[in-house]
Amino acid sequence: MANIITKLSNEEQVDLSALSIDELKRLHFDEECLFCKKVLQLPPFSLERKELLNKGYNFAITVKEEIGIKEGKSLVSHGASKKSIKILKKLLAEKLSENKEPVVLYEAGVGYGYAISEVLSFFSDDIQSDKIKIKGCDIFIQSKMQSLININNKLEISEGDVYDCIKVLPYNSVDVFYADNVVEHFIPDEAETIFSEIARVLKPGGYLYLLIPNRYVGPRDVSGYFLPFGSKAQGTHFMEMSFNDITETMEKYNIFNTHCVLFIPKTNLIFSIKNKTLIKIKLFLEPVFAKVPTRFLRRLVFALCGFSVSINCLACEALEKRKTNESK
């Protein structure tokens, strides 16, 4: 069956079903890199930039789905894993035990709804009794996510980019802000504004839980098919960051690392330990491990030490600081 798509570069129509996997990856790379260069030339938060991003992401998703079909891979859990969801459940359970008010989870980039469906299943009684409220957004609401929304009227999911969707949220209203493979898609000249909004909506003591492709084992977008290991991403991963990068960035907003995350590869075992000393050791070791020359070994070490996972907490005293700044 034909799967016709229009190229971004020259409006040429292409039958994706007629292309091999290698040809699809080359098409994806060429077109995505081209539109990303154009995106960077447009004004921050401009309508022109948003329209081009929407068009580009729609193209990329369509091509990736065709690749997934030909490789026999499902994209339903794309961008999420059982390990990452395990931590999310742990953080929500912690907030449930602390809070008298309902716990609010906000997921930026809900994708196909994998994480939300897992939370719905695990905390079904708490959600039905309004102890947990689930909100979120994505630039496109996929059909699988829409089906989930249709059968769960308690979900509050918005279609749009992260900034537009969270800027309307009330101040100090989110207990756990979760973004799995989303922050790397922020555009550098917009990132500071978005991070500021995340800090605004996060409650004191609330968790910011991020998973970001680490730049030391990148590129992890479509560039990884064709560019050398360690190159800067040229596709929609505008901001692949190191663990040190994201730690330093969030500290500007009084959001500090609280958990040291460790994995056991090829198992479902994961550890998230609240220990400042371990976090300092992890920060110190990251640039050391980045010098491991072999791709396989470096990726193994970075996966084992959870260098793509950042769990941060908004310091309680930050609320008063923000209120003081806003009143000036």
Q: Any idea what DSSP says for residue 183? A: G
- Return the closest-CA partner of residue 208 out of 250, 176, 170, 251: 176
Q: What is the pLDDT of residue 181?
A: 93
User: What mean pLDDT do residues 129-139 have?
Assistant: 95
Confidence label for 59 from pLDDT (cuts 50, 70 and 90) = very high
Comparing 6-15, 65-74, 212-221, which segment has the lowest mean pLDDT? 65-74
Residue 173 has pLDDT above 90, yes or no: yes
Q: How many CB atoms lie within 10 A of CB 285?
A: 14
Helix residue ranges, H only, the chain: 21-40, 47-71, 82-98, 114-122, 124-128, 143-151, 162-166, 188-201, 243-251, 276-289, 295-304, 318-327
Q: What is the pLDDT of residue 260?
A: 94
Residue 328 has pLDDT above 80, yes or no: no
Q: What is the pLDDT of residue 79?
A: 52
- Calculate Rg over the CA atoms of the chain: 20
Q: Which burial class, exposed, middle or buried, applies to 125 when counting CB atoms under 10 A from its CB (0-12, 13-18, 19+)?
A: exposed
Confidence label for 142 from pLDDT (cuts 50, 70 and 90) = confident
Residue 306 has pLDDT above 90, yes or no: yes
Distances (CA, A) of 145 to 67, 87, 95, 138, 192: 20, 22, 25, 10, 29
Q: What is the mean pLDDT of the chain?
A: 91
Q: Which helix (H) or strand (E) holds 209?
A: strand 202-211
Q: What is the pLDDT of residue 266?
A: 73
User: What mean pLDDT do residues 237-266 have?
Assistant: 93
Percent of the chain predicted with pLDDT > 90: 81
Q: Report the alpha-carbon distance of residue 230 to residue 209 in Å, rounded.
A: 25
Confidence label for 1 from pLDDT (cuts 50, 70 and 90) = low
Confidence label for 325 from pLDDT (cuts 50, 70 and 90) = low
Confidence label for 74 from pLDDT (cuts 50, 70 and 90) = low
Confidence label for 326 from pLDDT (cuts 50, 70 and 90) = low
Confidence label for 80 from pLDDT (cuts 50, 70 and 90) = low
> pTM of the prediction?
0.92
Structural domains of the chain, ranges and CATH numbers in brackets: 4-71 (no CATH), 82-327 (3.40.50.150)
Residue 248 has pLDDT above 90, yes or no: yes
Residue pair 161/108 in contact by the 8 Å Cβ criterion: no
What the block records as the tokens of 270 is 């994961």
Q: How many CB atoms lie within 10 A of CB 231?
A: 13
Q: How many CB atoms lie within 10 A of CB 9?
A: 11
pLDDT, tens only, 95-125:
999 888 999 999 999 999 999 999 999 999 9
Q: What is the pLDDT of residue 270?
A: 87
Q: Report the alpha-carbon distance of residue 238 to residue 36 in Å, rounded.
A: 8
Q: Which burial class, exposed, middle or buried, applies to 111 when counting CB atoms under 10 A from its CB (0-12, 13-18, 19+)?
A: buried
User: Under the phi-then-psi rule, with left for phi > 0, alpha for psi from -120 to 50, and beta for the rest, what region is 191?
Assistant: alpha
